[in-house]
Structure 1
Amino acid sequence: IGIGASMPAGFLVPLQEAFARTRFVLHREILGRMRRYKNEQEQSLMEEACSRCTEALKAVMKAGSGWIGKTEGAFADALCREMEQRGISEAGALVCAGAHAAVPHYTGKDGIISADACLLVDFGGKYRGYCSDMSRTFYFCGENDKRREFEAVYGIVLAALEAGQGAAVLGGRMEDVDNAARRVIAEAGYGEYFTHRTGHGIGIDTHEEPCAASGDKSVIEPGLAFSVEPGIYLPGKFGIRIEDQIFMTADGAKVLHDYPRNEWLVCW
């Protein structure tokens, strides 16, 4: 019996006990190859999901510096409402203020959005069953050494994103995307602070196959959809991640998110 990777143990264990002679496997062993290739209709749905989520973030960011003093949870709630109003289901957002952004999988909600500090937003949801997944990192205005350091590191992450996207070529390997992005960050002296894979497949689930990761030798072919999301995380200071979703067409890579990557500075 094939099961999803997110099935709670409270359901799985009783099933295993009730059907002791049955072998349970992750459904990706059965459906993984079918899931990894998307047709034009699936691409269209993911593109629409990305567009609607992008518009939701634009709507929230209109408040600009008005977010200073508000909590991460308040920002996440507002962003999810904007997504839901645009027809996005299962909307969710990880919002990380200041040093919390240095923890790649931070899930708190009580941090305060502050001036002279960053705000990392990783969010998405589904449109008619297909996912969007995007990250942007902002910095609330200030003229000091903290901002200058943030700007320098942001430029490195943006260059890594562009290198990763540039390596997403038909006939290449998924690990090439990871290697290209990681090389930029390592050569800049921040290799030890890039602590996760560069990307993951996406479709019906937020995380599918294949992965833009070292050792994934999957050939890049039309129909693949995956994220490119390099990051640098400096403990106690800040973290920066920029994430876009890519779809591979017969003509090459198509980036599905169009929220500007250079609009990171929020002033008042």
Structure 2
Amino acid sequence: MDINQKITEELGVKRWQVDAAVRLIDEGSTIPFIARYRKEATGTLNDEQLRTLHERLTYLRGLEEKKEQVLGSIEEQGKLTEELKNQILAAETMVVVEDLYRPYRPKRRTRASIAKEKGLEPLAVLITLQKTDRPPEELAEEYVDEEKGVKSAAEAIQGARDIIAENISDDADYRSYIRSVTMKKGRVISAAKDPEAESVYEMYYDFEEPAGKLAGHRVLALNRGEKEKFLTVKVEAPEEEILRYLYKKILR
């Protein structure tokens, strides 16, 4: 990514202005100093523009470092395909990079990983594909193995379900859709841990607002109230719509 060019386009200024500002920042100049004493060098970029430039410069450089780290980790695992590499390189946010990396991130042992160790991944694939007329219970009987810790068909099915659930959770496209639809149609809800307690967060003791309309200062207040243990905060997602989407995508 040409970081300076991207910032140039975002700010709607000249490339030489961004190059000059970045050079001054890299030399150790502060934003107030550049805004006040280096106007001629940056073509009179104002304080607000310079602060935005600095924030984006820091973020985009961090993003590029993250991409290199992720690519290196996946390559070490021998799982880096050309398609995945291109997706990571094209990503414009940390969230997208993290979503793409999620299936390859070294994990602690999970219920899904334990189920895989028990040899239940093929059963999970069969159930997901839905290409057999045999009921899952009948399929699962073939995976009962006392030595591997699978004592019954019900346990085999539960292990397969754990694998399927983790696979869905790790899919970058699904995560992107769920995040997007939750921002559009979800709601942020907060309640008091102790309704009788006096605090500066009392207006949030019984609060609900669409996630997409929640102002930044309210987000900060909710975060503080939750951290200080006055509030419980949750995001209510449009579950039925998400389930319809997943059903259509996975069982199509």
Structure index of larger Rg: 2
Q: Judging by fraction of residues, say which structure has more helix.
A: 2
As a proportion of its length, which structure holds more strand? 1
TM-score (norm 1): 0.23
Structure with higher RCO (Cα < 8 A, 6+ apart):
1
